[in-house]
Structure 1
């Protein structure tokens, strides 16, 4: 897509992390995706940043997209993701970056900046403010049917998602999250029940884009790692 190149970088525990890249400027912007997303979510921003004279990089985290899954997805953590990102920068001989994070890519950006301040020149985030780990404000502010609480419960999302193929699950999540209200399931509903099957995709993504990127790649990766990070850490 308009000059975006792809490579795989092996990190210290043997996994290969997929990285999309465009541009060759001396300043580097790293885009960190959320769920249910992949590097492709940043394609338009990457091209714009490269045209402005920067080098743009967007990884797939371990267990997401084209990157290898961890051997034990239920034990994946933010620490693993942070380590992977730092090792990717080392492999690409990049000393310092501007981080852009969306959804749970935002706390990932915050933690990288806190733990590796010498590697970060600035950050910009969308969707989530900084909250310290285990902050009580992270819990009990929304009803029990809030999707985060449902997906945090081991086995519940697996049973809910397991009624459909992976591409249908991602399709339904995009439909839900593109509405103006937060999706809340009632006591006798699951999150996937909130979607009317005939509802079209939101207007910001075409059927072709969905099928050739998100649909195909989530069929490959599944949701084991994605449910662990960010929902169950």
Structure 2
């Protein structure tokens, strides 16, 4: 009986500690300030927490500034000013109507204007997915703006001078490769609408499928995650999911998909930078189950020296065991430690 009583007491104490932790996290997240700034001709929504050197976080798709909530709390507590915008066309940031308003030049210029608005010359950069791509081009076009770069998931995509980006991807992975399927304006939006925003967001965020994402012909269908679980993973709450869904139900998916629709135009615009190497100090972190890392070519490029050749100051590559694409959320504490220990070197 005594052992049973002690066990019950321990469970009660554990539950109490968990409740206190949840309340503390809620207070910390409530401390994140949100505001709107004018940058590069658009209104940009920015979340911010802390004082000190700026750590700038750039999100991917289908994410928002919110994807960095754990990193913002952690880094701000360690003496940094954590800043995370909604990128052009995402969340509360303005979404210009034209497809061609979403080239990498537009988005990089948004980020440069944001940095200037913060009153600093340089930032520590942390980015994931499409944010990672923008991060690479920020380092390429404006290397003086970045002290050090912690890149998650997507390595530097060096320019093949002979093959346009989308053309090369479709030739390599087939016409049902997700980027190929995203190209025709309105088509994928209609297919996503057929299954609904909550399904699409959950389907992408929770996928642990490896290899190139191939979407069902002529529909979104099971999308990125044909084995989607009926329960959410431990790192993604219903409240988290509801936040993403609430924003995408307002904006729709067209602005983020326009990023993919400019990949061939980006290829043309970046012609003068063919062969230019990234000189910024970089730490790269990916999951061994990441859809990018497990796609043919990318793993070989990362592991066999091509990546290091293009990024001579690539200091370290971390491949997290058992971790999928959204590693900044799935392994938040580990990513926080990696960021902090890397940027303190510069």
Q: TM-score by structure 1 length?
A: 0.87
Work out the CA distance in 2 between the residues paired with 1:197 and 1:50: 34
Matched, 1:108 2:134: yes
Matched, 1:17 2:44: yes
Q: Matched residue of 2:46: which SS?
A: strand
Work out the CA distance in 1 between the residues paired with 2:229 and 2:118: 45
Flag the 1:190–1:200 CA change in 2: closer, same or farther, 3 A.
farther
Matched, 1:71 2:97: yes
Work out the CA distance in 2 between the residues paired with 1:200 and 1:144: 32
1:59 positional shift = 0.5
Q: Which residue of 2 aligns with 1:221?
A: 251
1:2 positional shift = 4.5
CA RMSD of aligned residues (A): 2.3
Work out the CA distance in 2 between the residues paired with 1:124 and 1:196: 31
Work out the CA distance in 2 between the residues paired with 1:118 and 1:198: 44
Matched, 1:158 2:176: no
Matched, 1:122 2:152: no
Partners of 1:38 and 1:214 within 8 A in 2: yes
Q: Which residue of 1 aligns with 2:198?
A: 167
Return the structure number with greater helix share: 2
Work out the CA distance in 1 between the residues paired with 2:129 and 2:172: 18
1:134 positional shift = 5.0
- Residues 73-113 of structure 1, C-alpha deviations (whole Å, 9 max, x = no match): 45421111111111111112121001111111112111111
1:178 positional shift = 3.5
Q: 1:7 aligns with which of 24, 32, 35?
A: 35
For CA contacts below 8 A with separation 6 or more, give which structure has more relative contact order: 1
Matched, 1:193 2:222: yes
Gaps of 5+ in 2: 1-28, 264-346
Matched, 1:35 2:64: no
Q: Which residue of 2 aligns with 1:149?
A: 180
1:22 positional shift = 0.7
Work out the CA distance in 2 between the residues paired with 1:61 and 1:52: 25
Partners of 1:165 and 1:219 within 8 A in 2: no
Q: TM-score by structure 2 length?
A: 0.60
Flag the 1:107–1:85 CA change in 2: closer, same or farther, 3 A.
same
Q: Matched residue of 1:192: which SS?
A: coil
Flag the 1:152–1:204 CA change in 2: closer, same or farther, 3 A.
farther
Matched, 1:85 2:111: yes
Q: Matched residue of 1:152: which SS?
A: coil
1:127 positional shift = 1.1
